[in-house]
């Protein structure tokens, strides 16, 4: 199958963990921990109303010393979500993520949440699209991903593993382990 023939449906995760806006941040953190996920879609009906991430919990609750059991996810969620249709081409989704500097896209079909697409999903199904996501990360905030100025998330061009922190060595994006091997040669 050609790269541009993959659809969002091919890569998305169908099982999406959701929570009501009245859920406390503490309870949402328990869900994230239990399911080993980095975000929860916030919805009270069929369509997503917002999204809460681990970063939201840290930036909007922990860093402000707010008690997580006393604030709801509806109060801190990201609103006005950018969503995508499951029939959209995967390269369109990657460009949408890059353009808007986001790593997660709720997948909505006729007003109903049917899945979630993450940058990791895109890379796993179509590693060729890594370049779009990496270029976006480098342009928007290169130091967000680590101490090195060129550290970005993506697929290591040596071992093929998806890593949150890649460094550019001799024009290749590589993980820390492969970087050490390359520098040791």
Q: How far is residue 182's CA from residue 9's CA, in Å, rounded to a whole number?
A: 37
* Confidence check: pLDDT of 149 > 50: no
Q: How far is residue 154's CA from residue 118's CA, in Å, rounded to a whole number?
A: 12
Q: How far is residue 68's CA from residue 38's CA, in Å, rounded to a whole number?
A: 17
Does the annotation flag 39 for ligand binding? no
User: Which two tokens mark 76?
Assistant: 């801190």
Indicate the range of 79-83, 109-113, 147-151 predicted with least confidence: 147-151
What is the location of CATH 3.10.580.10 in the chain?
A: 3-115
Q: Which pLDDT value is given to residue 152?
A: 63
CATH number of 3-115: 3.10.580.10
Per cent of the chain over pLDDT 70 is: 84
* Mean pLDDT across 20-43: 96
| pTM to 2 decimal places | 0.69
Q: How confident is the model at residue 63 (pLDDT cuts 50, 70, 90)?
A: very high
């Amino acid at each position: 199958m050609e790269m541009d023939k993959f659809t969002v449906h091919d890569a998305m995760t169908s099982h999406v963990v959701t929570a009501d806006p009245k859920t406390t941040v503490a309870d949402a953190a328990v869900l994230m921990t239990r399911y080993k996920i980095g975000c929860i879609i916030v919805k009270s009906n069929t369509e997503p109303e917002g999204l809460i991430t681990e970063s939201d919990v840290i930036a909007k609750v922990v860093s402000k010393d707010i008690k997580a059991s006393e604030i709801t996810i509806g109060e801190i969620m990201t609103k006005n979500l950018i969503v995508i249709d499951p029939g959209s081409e995967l390269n369109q989704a990657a460009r949408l993520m890059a353009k808007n500097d986001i790593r997660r896209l709720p997948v909505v079909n006729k007003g109903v949440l049917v899945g979630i697409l993450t940058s990791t999903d895109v890379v796993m199904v179509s590693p060729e699209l890594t370049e779009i996501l990496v270029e976006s990360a480098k342009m928007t905030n290169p130091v967000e991903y680590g101490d090195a100025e060129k550290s970005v998330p993506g697929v290591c061009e040596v071992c093929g593993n998806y890593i949150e922190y890649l460094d550019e060595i001799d024009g290749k994006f590589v993980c820390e382990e492969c970087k050490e091997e390359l520098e040791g040669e």
